[in-house]
Amino acid sequence: MIPNASRPPERSLPASPTPTAQTVRLARNLGFALVVALGFLALLEGGLRLAGYPDPGLYAGDVGSIWTLRSDLAPQEVPFPEEGSSFSVRTNADGFRGGPYPGGGIACLGDSTTFGWGVEEEQAWPAVLATLTGEPVLNAGVPGYSTFQGEALLPRVLALRPQRVILAYLVRDAELAPAPDALRRPAPPLQIHRALAHLRARRARAPARIVPRVSVEAFAAAYRRMIAAVRAAGAEPSVLVFPMREAPQTWVTALRSLRGLAPVLEPHLPEADFFPHDPLHLDPTGHAELARAVAEAL
């Protein structure tokens, strides 16, 4: 008997190929190039931040999605080219127009028509309302806001414990845009990206505006949620139908339908109370008239 006659002869496995010197050099070069590129981008990002380019102006966050006013802004002049003038803006530590807000009283949420675009801080209707009522009033208006951004801001306002909250969103919701606000996505928080977007915006043609920023159905639903949130926080909600020369009637009807949930204030102002070359915004007289109408309704 021949031992192990049925066992095939053992074969050694081929050795794993070792990288050639050329492959190693290529990998090292690629790694070095990547490190250099990342270092350059980091230096560029830091340089842009130090230089403050592009200038963020009044705002923090992503102006294409959700943004806020920057906190603790010292008074600065903001151009108002439509009227060939300017107005000053300061913000408090909470990132709202005006000085410190002690809480309590009234909080007014809205867009630039509540913020007081084109007028001084003390001329905006929330500030005039404070004088008329003798209560502290928070101006929580942020230019460009629709109910989409307003609903995201509301918890910050409610954390300041107002006793009454006036919701004044309307003007921007019906405004046409390339896409609904809810579908917009924030850009990466990189200064390089903002700089490139800023340069592109200066040369690019504006995209077609084909849909409302907030549909009337989403608009009404957001208002119902905000009213419920205000009540849950122990405050009293009110809805202000901001006076407009050409109001979007479908959205106005949606606001009127909320009367069973909260008081709906619908003051009417003459055309003379708006700026001559900016018919969207009230002039100082219009703000004073609106504040009086709100104070009487409250």
Predicted local distance difference test score (pLDDT) of residue 51: 47
**From residue 133, how far is each of 105, 107, 290 by CA, in Å?**
9, 13, 13
Q: What angle do CA 89, 230, 262 make, to 5 degrees?
A: 105
Same domain? For 65 and 140 the reply is: yes
d(CA 165, CA 238): 6
Same domain? For 75 and 223 the reply is: yes
Same domain? For 80 and 104 the reply is: yes
**From residue 229, how far is each of 226, 263, 279 by CA, in Å?**
5, 15, 33
Structural domain harbouring 141: 59-297
Same domain? For 37 and 109 the reply is: no
Same domain? For 38 and 148 the reply is: no
Q: Which letter, b or e, does each residue of 87-98 get, where b requires 16 or more Cβ atoms within 10 Å of its Cβ?
A: bebebbebbbbb
Same domain? For 235 and 87 the reply is: yes
d(CA 114, CA 69): 14
14 alpha-carbon distance from chain centroid: 64
Same domain? For 90 and 163 the reply is: yes
Predicted local distance difference test score (pLDDT) of residue 14: 53
Predicted local distance difference test score (pLDDT) of residue 1: 42
Predicted local distance difference test score (pLDDT) of residue 62: 81
Predicted local distance difference test score (pLDDT) of residue 39: 62
Per the domain annotation, does 32 fall within a domain? yes
- Would the pTM count as exceeding 0.85? no
Same domain? For 26 and 93 the reply is: no
Same domain? For 102 and 67 the reply is: yes
Same domain? For 276 and 176 the reply is: yes
Each residue's pLDDT, cut to its tens digit, for the chain (298 residues) gives: 444 445 555 555 555 556 687 887 777 777 776 666 566 545 544 554 454 445 568 999 887 789 999 999 999 999 999 999 999 999 999 999 999 999 999 999 999 999 999 999 999 999 999 999 999 999 999 999 999 999 999 999 999 999 999 999 999 999 999 999 998 765 555 454 444 444 454 555 666 879 999 999 999 999 999 999 999 999 999 999 999 999 999 999 999 999 999 999 999 999 999 999 999 999 999 999 999 999 999 8
Per the domain annotation, does 75 fall within a domain? yes
d(CA 214, CA 34): 44
Same domain? For 47 and 153 the reply is: no
Q: How many domains does the chain have?
A: 2
Residues 6+ apart with CB under 8 A from 235: 107, 158, 161, 162, 163, 164, 165
Per the domain annotation, does 15 fall within a domain? no
d(CA 255, CA 216): 10
Predicted local distance difference test score (pLDDT) of residue 197: 46
Same domain? For 26 and 168 the reply is: no
Predicted local distance difference test score (pLDDT) of residue 195: 46
